[in-house]
Amino acid sequence: MTTASKSASRALDRELLAVVFAIVAGGFLVFGAGFANSAALHDAGHDSRHSMAFPCH
Amino acid sequence: MTSRLLASALFAGLAAGLASAALQQWFTVPVIEVAELYESGEMTHDFGQAAAGAHDHGDGHTHADGAADGHSHAADAADGHSHAATADDGHSHAAGADAGHSHAADAQGHSHGDGPEGLMRTGLTALTTVLAMVGFGLLLTAGFSLAERLTGARIDLRAGLAWGAAGFAATQLATAVGLPPELPGSAAAELGARQTWWVMAALGTAAGIAVLAYVPGPARWAGLVLIAAPHLVGAPHPDQMWGVVPPELAGIFAARVLAVGAVGWLVLGGVAGHLWSRARPA
């Protein structure tokens, strides 16, 4: 494996890591904003949840 | 590369979130605030009884002064609900009225009375919307990366707009077909079942559009099955419609939610696609 292709594949792996991180973090944020059952999150996000058509109440 | 994915999502999410938050304050939050007056019983909906009497079609739609808008204040109704008045009109609201009362008890559980008010409420609403849009942005740019890897597609501003439209179709349009945007005080099935169906409809539609757009050959039509499946299963609905909010209010709310959602998603997809392509490594 040449140095160039090694660094290219490392860069690719890092982006794949970023993809996995983005899916986990994105899912976490959407869940927290729209779905989490905690009363504090519900009250804080109430108008936003209704306005974004997440099921609420 | 790593930073390209995260930075595109963050900036696009911030832009789309702030735009959505502003539009929500303008268009949807005022409707929610009126709906909460009905939910709390401060206002009651008399299902057209007053309006029917008050309309004077003889002289060009003048309304009587009394309860001309079809709404009567709770103070006038002994128990805060005027559904009983409509029990005889054949729409069987009498049964629904009981459910309405139990919902009033629900409402206390949601502590709307104790919830944040004023600037704090506006700020928390905006914050929640921004966080949700950043979250959707992260999922979107993860999708950009996977699409470029798997299909050789190149995502730019135009493709980003198409992805934004797909995101809107998945998380707003398809979900609204089964579960239209709800106002406080609307009748709805059990929350967990609705959330499960919402996620299934959103994922099915997103995957279906991706298959239609990126799978070559006739196999792409399998995407239609993914899009249709949640609707064949069907969204959970309440046994009875007993919502205390006037349908006129619910209608305008649903339309506004979808319009605001469309703008937010197009901003999200367009900005994310533009930043993504601009930062593309040589």
User: What DSSP assignment string belongs to B199-219?
Assistant: HHHHHHHHHHHHHHHHS-SGG
Residues B54 and B34 in one domain: no
Torsion of CA A24, A39, B190, B27, to 10 degrees: -80
Cα angle value B170/B121/B271 (rounded, 5°): 40
User: Mind spelling out the 3-state secondary structure of A28-57?
Assistant: HHHHHHHCCCCHHHHHHHHHHHHHCCCCCC
Supply φ then ψ for residue B44, to 5 degrees: -130, 150
Residues B33 and B51 in one domain: no
Q: Concatenated DSSP letters for B136-152?
A: HHHHHHHHHHHHHHHH-
The predicted pLDDT at position A15 comes to: 84
How far apart CA A10 and CA B183 sit, in angstroms, is: 49
Residues B83 and B149 in one domain: no
**Cross-chain CB nearest to B141 (options A22, A30, A42):** A22
pLDDT surpassing 70 at residue A39 = yes
Q: Which residue has the tokens 């996977």?
A: B146
The predicted pLDDT at position B50 comes to: 54
Residues B68 and B204 in one domain: no
The predicted pLDDT at position A3 comes to: 63
Chain A closest-CA separation from residue B92 CA (Å): 24
Q: Is residue B114 part of a domain?
A: no
The predicted pLDDT at position A57 comes to: 79
The predicted pLDDT at position B118 comes to: 87
Q: Is residue B171 part of a domain?
A: yes
Q: Which residues does chain A have within 8 Å of residue B1's beta carbon, measured at their own beta carbons?
A: 11, 14-15, 18
**Cross-chain CB nearest to A52 (options B6, B126, B132):** B132
SS3 B4: helix
Asked whether B185 and B245 are in contact (CB, 8 A), the reply is: yes
Q: Which residues does chain A have within 8 Å of residue B138's beta carbon, measured at their own beta carbons?
A: 22-23, 25-26, 29
Print pLDDT tens along chain B (282 aa): 568 999 999 999 999 999 999 999 999 999 999 999 998 888 887 766 654 444 444 443 333 333 333 343 333 333 333 333 333 333 333 333 333 333 333 433 344 455 788 899 999 999 999 999 999 999 999 999 999 999 989 999 999 999 999 999 999 999 999 999 999 988 899 999 999 999 999 999 999 999 999 999 999 999 999 999 999 999 999 888 888 899 999 999 999 999 999 999 999 999 999 999 998 887
Token pair listed for B198: 């919402």
The predicted pLDDT at position A6 comes to: 67
Minimal Cα distance from B131: which residue of A? A29
Residues 6+ apart with CB under 8 A from B15: B267, B268, B271
Does the beta-carbon distance from A53 to B195 stay under 8 Å?
Answer: no
Q: How many domains does chain B have?
A: 2
How far apart CA B33 and CA B53 sit, in angstroms, is: 27
Q: Is residue B137 part of a domain?
A: yes
How far apart CA B262 and CA B256 sit, in angstroms, is: 10
Residues B245 and B165 in one domain: yes
Q: What is the DSSP letter of B89?
A: G
Q: At what angle do helices A3-34 and B2-23 cross, to 10 degrees?
A: 20
How far apart CA B117 and CA B276 sit, in angstroms, is: 38
Domain containing B88 equals 47-109
Q: Is residue B92 part of a domain?
A: yes
The predicted pLDDT at position B79 comes to: 35
Residues B140 and B241 in one domain: yes
How far apart CA B23 and CA B19 sit, in angstroms, is: 6
Handedness of CA B184, B38, B81, B53 (dihedral sign): negative
Domain ranges of chain A: 18-57
The predicted pLDDT at position B49 comes to: 63
Q: Is residue B82 part of a domain?
A: yes
Residues B135 and B68 in one domain: no
The predicted pLDDT at position B280 comes to: 87
User: Is B99 near chain A, with CB under 8 Å?
Assistant: no
The predicted pLDDT at position B165 comes to: 98
The predicted pLDDT at position A5 comes to: 66
Asked whether A45 and A33 are in contact (CB, 8 A), the reply is: yes
How far apart CA B188 and CA B11 sit, in angstroms, is: 35
How far apart CA B10 and CA B17 sit, in angstroms, is: 10
Q: Count chain A–chain B contacts defined by CB atoms under 8 A.
A: 150
Residues B138 and B27 in one domain: yes
Q: Concatenated DSSP letters for B29-78?
A: HHHHHHHHHHHTTSEEE-TTHHHHHHEEGGGTSEE-STTTTSEEEGGGST
Asked whether B63 and B69 are in contact (CB, 8 A), the reply is: yes
Q: At which of B109, B138, B155 does a domain end?
A: B109
How far apart CA B111 and CA B105 sit, in angstroms, is: 10
Residues B11 and B79 in one domain: no
